[in-house]
Copies of this chain bind each other. A is one copy, B any other.
Amino acid sequence: MGLIPRTIHDIDTPAAVVDLDLVRRNIQALQTYLDGTPVHIRPHVKTHKTPQIALMQIAAGAPGVTSAKVGEAEAMVAGGVHDVLIANQVVGPAKISRLCALAQNARITVAVDDARNVQDLSAAAVAAGVTIGVVVEIEVGMKRCGVAAGAPAVTLAQTVAAAPGLDLVGLMGYEGHTVAIEDHAERAAAARGALGRVIETKALCEAAGLNIREVTGGGTNTFDITSKIDGWTELQCGTYATMDAGFRPHSGHMFESAFWILASVISRPATDRVVLDAGRKAVSFEPGGTPIIEDPSGLEIESLSEEHAKVSLTSQNPDLQPGQKVRITPWHGCTTFNLHDTVYVVQDDEVVDVWSIAGRGKFT
């Protein structure tokens, strides 16, 4: 990498770019929505993986962040975050040892769904002289991780509460199978139905004398639904801060796209075809949707190979030549951030900073 570019026009491509003012606006929009409610946001950093954005979210009011892996949590703590919920199971001596090391320097909470894992965490926390926060993950319909709601979850919560070195923080459930339901009323019914099991389990835990301080979960597409469930305390939305093309239509236009891949035309081999230098290694390609060319308008990506995007042109489209730049909105922001080591930060097209995407590739 050479000198830091002065404006967005000087950035070599393909490159990840965020608009600082739009990121701030998105963060403030959700914070304002939640202010005055009993629910707070603990933003998931699996989208942006960038401590600088996490610190903006905390400055706006978040008590800390959510991560998916120990490695992401390490990147956040190294970047100045002091409170991380790892919303996932942490299994095996190598990762549990890193978890305890992190807990020397930050407030660390982890999800559990297995009694033997609870014993492993407890033994390691005691040996390291630390306390690890624990949320019991409840399966609410994704059929992924999570103990069954009701009695099995209460039993596991009791096991956590009795385990030395662990602090029972509360319950977790993620309504991930509902977030892409197009019709908002259907989505709301599905999310409330799923998370109702967590709230019922909370009541059972409290009847058994357990203190459930947090009930945590929720995604960007259900923030307005989950935040209104009686007894819910914490949202884990992540995509809202930078937004992507897949989630944008679902979130009621409250959040704006603030993250792009900048690409260049590298070939104009025929009148009806142009080729860009950004392929699947620069912008993620997943079943479900295609990345969108935002600027110039009127162009659609026809196919993406590893290093190329192919755009078919008609006489209606802007005429593009090698060297010209385009701005692509990723369909899925989380997996696209994960491809880049750095992101250029722009304000009114001026490059004001370059951030390391410190959580990229931290999947252990």
Residues of A with Cβ closer than 8 Å to B? 2, 12-15, 46, 68-69, 88-92, 94-95, 113-114, 116-117, 139, 143-148, 176, 264-270, 273, 275, 277-282, 285-287, 305-308, 310, 322-323, 334-335, 338-341, 361, 363-364
Per a CB cutoff under 8 Å, which of B145, B273, B334 touches A266?
B145
Q: How far is the CA of A267 from the CA of B142 in the complex (A)?
A: 14
Per a CB cutoff under 8 Å, which of B2, B307, B323, B341 touches A88?
B307
Per a CB cutoff under 8 Å, which of B117, B266, B305 touches A91?
B266
Per a CB cutoff under 8 Å, which of B94, B146, B310 touches A2?
B94
- With both chains docked as a complex, state the minimum distance between the C-beta of A300 and any C-beta of chain B, in angstroms: 15
Knowing A14-B363, A281-B335 touch, does A275 contact B145 (C-beta < 8 A)?
yes
Question: Which chain B positions have C-beta within 8 A of A13?
Answer: 92, 364
Knowing A14-B364, A281-B361 touch, does A145 contact B339 (C-beta < 8 A)?
no
Knowing A361-B341, A364-B13 touch, does A92 contact B273 (C-beta < 8 A)?
no
Question: Which chain B positions have C-beta within 8 A of A339?
Answer: 338, 361
- With both chains docked as a complex, state the minimum distance between the C-beta of A188 and any C-beta of chain B, in angstroms: 23
- With both chains docked as a complex, state the minimum distance between the C-beta of A218 and any C-beta of chain B, in angstroms: 16
Knowing A89-B322, A116-B322, A286-B280 touch, does A308 contact B144 (C-beta < 8 A)?
yes
Inter-chain contact A334/B306, CB cutoff 8 Å? yes
Which of A92, A139, A341 gathers the greatest number of chain B CB atoms within 10 Å?
A: A92
Knowing A286-B280, A286-B285, A307-B68 touch, does A146 contact B269 (C-beta < 8 A)?
yes
- With both chains docked as a complex, state the minimum distance between the C-beta of A339 and any C-beta of chain B, in angstroms: 7
Closest to A111 in B: B267
Q: How far is the CA of A318 from the CA of B81 in the complex (A)?
A: 41
Q: How far is the CA of A305 from the CA of B145 in the complex (A)?
A: 12
